Every structure is written in structure tokens, then in C-alpha cells.
Amino acid sequence: MRTRFWIFAGLVALVFAVNLALVSLRIAQTGEDTVRARLALAGSALRAQVDLLDARLSPRAVATLPELIEASRPDERTLRAAAAALTPEPDLLAVEIGQGAIVSRRARPAQQVDDAGKLPLGRAPLEGRPAPAFASWEGGLWRVSAARVPGNAAAVLVGTLVDDRLAAQLKSQVDADVTLLLNGKVVASSLPQGDARAQVARWAAAPSPGYGVLPVILPGVGSALSGKLPLAASRYAVRGALVALDSGVQAALTVPASPYLTWLARYQAFYLVGLAIFILFAFIWGLFSGSAQPPPREVQLPEEQPESAAAPPPPAEPSSGELPWSAPPAAEEAPPRPVPDQEPRAESLDPDVPPAVAARSVSQHPMWSADPFTPTPTQIAEEQANETRSKEAAPAPEGPPADPDEEHWRDTFEKFREMKARLGEPVDRISFEKFAAKLRKNREDLIAKHSAKGVRFVVYEKEGKAAIKASAIR
């Protein structure tokens, strides 16, 4: 029984383990697909935001202003006219005419520049229509766009500073952290200052599906399982995608993997703990299952029959006028005994003794009976006393010893008869001998089957009838 129980528990544990593996694979795959889809969507959204930024700069509308077309040199009047046409005011605005230019930056006064080639994009705006690009100028990275003024050797340059503020705006639009890098160095990022940006820079140098270790914090063990769970899934703390922009600028888009995989790691941890507890409990239970008390079973009594039919009829007692040792044979008929008129007549059984001698003997010994075959009361009493003394003096007959459970069987038999009488069943259809024989057989079967020390029987009511069940004692 113990082996069967352990086999059953092992099969159940195997089913639970397979279920955990299948569920983990399905959930991990779903999480991975969700993260990849989110990164792909963020990459497309970032490119769209850059195009929208270029359209918002819109230098072509400023280049058609009459003040710029008629201007012969860059001055503050032309700069104010260009700034009035742009809403909101950009971070960088420059009007280039000939060799010089006038430049305005946010929160700073206008500045005259003698050489337009020192501005972002250099002299390209004066020579043609350069495409919007990222450009480094005065220690910062700018997104600039330029347009030539028709009918005049002049151009308008508009730019936006690439900094953490711009990265935060892009994050809110693309639903992912945005980090802009130039030549492997972080220029702007929506991530907090510190190790997070350094990790992004190291990852961008050798791109992979992600970086970092997924944090898994559980009660009692803390973060000891970080990097070990979840099973059947990658354990990167951050998933990222590298998007190449123009002018050597790269954008690193990163999303945390915790919302998708941390709960799976916790689920697996609690599941494995529960499975381990189940296996331990099953092992301990199996150790003690062999000594468990066997369930009681009902005793099938033999077919009941009247006691009169089961027991042999008692021998008929002899009549008061006959004794067993003087009864005549059945084939012979006893001669009639003469009835005396007053007193019994003495007759001698010896033919040599005359009747007169017999009569005198009777008169001399009044204790004799007229009928020698009928004992007197005194003789009967003496004979009974002699039999009693002989029985007491005789050794006890040797036979099998009494069963130690016979008293319990008799008590059960009496209770069985009482319940049958209370339920209206006949109580004279089974003898104690057959009842005890059936209990003895049930006792031997239970002791052999369950290695029990003994068996006890209980009388109870079953479907309106008296019944007996046996319980093994260990």
C-alpha cells in the first residue's frame, strides 16, 4: 500500500511539474512577444516624432518674409521679424546674409557672428537646401533645419537643443525610455542620472536583447533568486532596441521587463515551494500509511435458522414408573403387574425360597420394597450423593482451552439479539455456536491481512436491520 501511495503521489507531482512547464512557456512567450511589439512600436513612433519636430521648426515659412527678402545685412530687425513668424520661439534662430549672421538663443541676447561657417550646417544653407540633421555646436547637440531666402543671398536656420527635456518629451510620446547617443556617449536621456545611463552606454556598444538582472524579491529569501527565475524565459531586467538616426546619432529605446516577467518568477517560486511541500507530505504520509488502522468491515453472519432445527432434540426422560436400566426391550412387551388389594404381596425371585420365608423377611425388614425394582427414596438420595462425590473427585476432562474473546463474542451476541428484538426481527434463528464460529473466522482473516493484534465487533443498525462490523486493533 505504501508503494502504491508513493507511485500515485509521484504521478501527481509529475503532472503538476508538467503543468508548470507548459504554463511558464506560454506566459514567457506572451511576455516576450509583448515586449518586442512594444519596442518595435516605440521605434516607429520615435522616427515619426523626429519628422514632426522637423515640421514644427518650419524655416521655409520664415524665409518668405519681405523683411528677409529685402535685407542687405543681418541685424536685429530681421531677427525679430523671423522670430515673430515662429510660434513657439525655437531654441536656436539664425539669419545668415553674406559672410555674417545674427544668432538668437533661448534666454540669451542676440549675437553677431562674422563667419557664418561657424554655425550649425556651416555655409550649406547659403549654398542650397540641406536636409534637417543633428549638429554639434557650442558643446551641445542640436536638431537643425535651414531654408534659403528666395531672391537674396540669405538663409534662415532654426534648431532645437537635444537635451534631457527633449528626451522626456519623446518618452511620453513613444511609451519607452529614450536615450540619444553620439559616438557612444550619452547626449540626452529620459533615464535618471547615474548607473542607468552607464548601463545603456555599455549595452549600446554591444547590443543584445537586453541587459541587467531581473529583480525577484520574495518573502523570506529576499533577492536570492534574482537571475535564477523565471524559468523558460530570459532574465534581463531591461529590454532594449537600438534605432539609428542621422548624423551618427543613435537612439536607445528601453523598457523594463518587470511588469511582464517578475510576477511569473514569483508564481514559479510559490508553485515550486507548494510542489516541494506536497512531495514531502506525500513521503511522510506514505511512511505512516502502512500503520494506519484498517477500516471496519461488515461481518456476514451465516444463514439464520431456528434453534430447534439446529440443536438435536433432547433425549426423552423416563416416566416415574420406569428406570433406564430396567426398561424392557422395545420388541418385548412387559407382563402386567398384579395390583394388590391392601398390601403388596411378597414374592421371591428365587425358586428355592418359599413365599412364606419371603413374607417373614419383609416383616423383619420393613425398609424393603414389595417390588425389588423400585428403589426407595432413601436409596435414591444415597445414589445421588455418591454420584456428586464421584464427579468432584474425578479429574477435570481435558479439552481445548476457552477462547480469550469468547466473553466479547457472547456480549456481542447478546447485543445482537437485543437489537434484532428491538427492530422486530426474530431472535431464535441463529445459535451462539455458529455466531461465534463466524466471528472467529473474521478475526483470523483480519489478523492475517492487517497484522493486527486483535479484532473487536460492534453491533449497529443498517437499513433497518441489525448488523455487525469488525475493526482491527493494532
Determine the pLDDT at residue 48.
95
In 3D, which of 282, 287, 279 has the Cα closest to residue 2? 287
Q: Confidence class of residue 152 from pLDDT cuts 50, 70 and 90?
A: confident
- Whether 93 contacts 108, CB under 8 Å: no
Instruction: Tell me how far apart the alpha carbons of residues 168 and 39 are, in angstroms, rounded to a whole number.
Output: 17
- The answer, yes or no, to whether residue 66 has pLDDT greater than 90, is no
Determine the pLDDT at residue 211.
92
If asked whether residues 115 and 252 sit together in one domain, one would say no
What would the pLDDT profile of 226-243 be if each residue is shown by its tens digit?
888 898 888 999 999 999
If asked whether residues 174 and 270 sit together in one domain, one would say yes
- Residue bearing the bigger pLDDT, 339 or 147: 147
Instruction: Tell me how far apart the alpha carbons of residues 409 and 432 are, in angstroms, rounded to a whole number.
Output: 9
What would the pLDDT profile of 129-139 be if each residue is shown by its tens digit?
788 999 998 88
The verdict on residue 325 lying in a domain is no
- The answer, yes or no, to whether residue 305 has pLDDT greater than 70, is no
The verdict on residue 415 lying in a domain is yes
Q: Which amino acid is at 149?
A: V
Q: Which of 97-101, 328-332, 370-374, 412-416 has the highest mean pLDDT?
A: 412-416
The verdict on residue 203 lying in a domain is yes
- Residue bearing the bigger pLDDT, 296 or 143: 143
Range name among 71-80, 172-181, 411-420 with the lowest pLDDT average: 71-80
**Beta-bridge partner residues of 180:** 188, 251
Determine the pLDDT at residue 357.
46
| Domain end call among 138, 162, 186 | 162
Determine the pLDDT at residue 179.
96
- Residue bearing the bigger pLDDT, 426 or 399: 426
- Residue bearing the bigger pLDDT, 224 or 365: 224
In 3D, which of 158, 149, 182, 185 has the Cα closest to residue 73? 149
Stretch 397-413: mean pLDDT? 78
- Whether 149 contacts 131, CB under 8 Å: no
Stretch 371-380: mean pLDDT? 58
- The answer, yes or no, to whether residue 43 has pLDDT greater than 60, is yes
Determine the pLDDT at residue 249.
94
- The answer, yes or no, to whether residue 339 has pLDDT greater than 60, is no
Range name among 79-93, 210-224, 391-405, 432-446 with the lowest pLDDT average: 391-405
Range name among 85-89, 99-103, 438-442 with the lowest pLDDT average: 85-89
Residue 179's domain comprises 2-54+167-274
- The answer, yes or no, to whether residue 144 has pLDDT greater than 90, is yes
- The answer, yes or no, to whether residue 186 has pLDDT greater than 90, is yes
Instruction: Tell me how far apart the alpha carbons of residues 179 and 241 are, in angstroms, rounded to a whole number.
Output: 11
If asked whether residues 21 and 146 sit together in one domain, one would say no
The verdict on residue 194 lying in a domain is yes
Grid cell listed for 140: 551641445
- Residue bearing the bigger pLDDT, 62 or 291: 62
If asked whether residues 109 and 155 sit together in one domain, one would say yes
Range name among 171-185, 356-370, 437-451 with the lowest pLDDT average: 356-370
If asked whether residues 10 and 99 sit together in one domain, one would say no
If asked whether residues 48 and 194 sit together in one domain, one would say yes
Determine the pLDDT at residue 366.
46
Domain count for the chain: 3
If asked whether residues 99 and 143 sit together in one domain, one would say yes
If asked whether residues 113 and 208 sit together in one domain, one would say no
Determine the pLDDT at residue 11.
93
| Domain end call among 134, 162, 190 | 162
Q: What percent of the chain has pLDDT over 70?
A: 78
Q: Confidence class of residue 368 from pLDDT cuts 50, 70 and 90?
A: very low
| Domain end call among 135, 162, 189 | 162
- The answer, yes or no, to whether residue 335 has pLDDT greater than 80, is no
The verdict on residue 355 lying in a domain is no
Determine the pLDDT at residue 308.
46
If asked whether residues 38 and 106 sit together in one domain, one would say no
If asked whether residues 63 and 203 sit together in one domain, one would say no
The verdict on residue 254 lying in a domain is yes
Determine the pLDDT at residue 329.
46
Determine the pLDDT at residue 303.
57
Q: Confidence class of residue 255 from pLDDT cuts 50, 70 and 90?
A: very high
- What is the pairing mode between strands 140-149 and 236-244? unpaired
Grid cell listed for 135: 549638429
If asked whether residues 78 and 158 sit together in one domain, one would say yes
If asked whether residues 172 and 156 sit together in one domain, one would say no
Grid cell listed for 124: 550649406
- The answer, yes or no, to whether residue 386 has pLDDT greater than 50, is yes
Range name among 10-19, 424-433, 453-462 with the lowest pLDDT average: 424-433
- The answer, yes or no, to whether residue 102 has pLDDT greater than 50, is yes
Q: CB 338: neighbour CB atoms within 10 A?
A: 9
Enter the pTM of the model: 0.59
The verdict on residue 389 lying in a domain is no
CATH code: domain of residue 123: 3.30.450
Determine the pLDDT at residue 376.
64
What would the pLDDT profile of 415-454 be if each residue is shown by its tens digit?
999 988 888 888 887 888 888 898 999 988 888 888 788 8
Instruction: Tell me how far apart the alpha carbons of residues 262 and 235 are, in angstroms, rounded to a whole number.
Output: 9
Mean residue pLDDT of the chain comes to 80
The verdict on residue 70 lying in a domain is yes
Determine the pLDDT at residue 362.
43
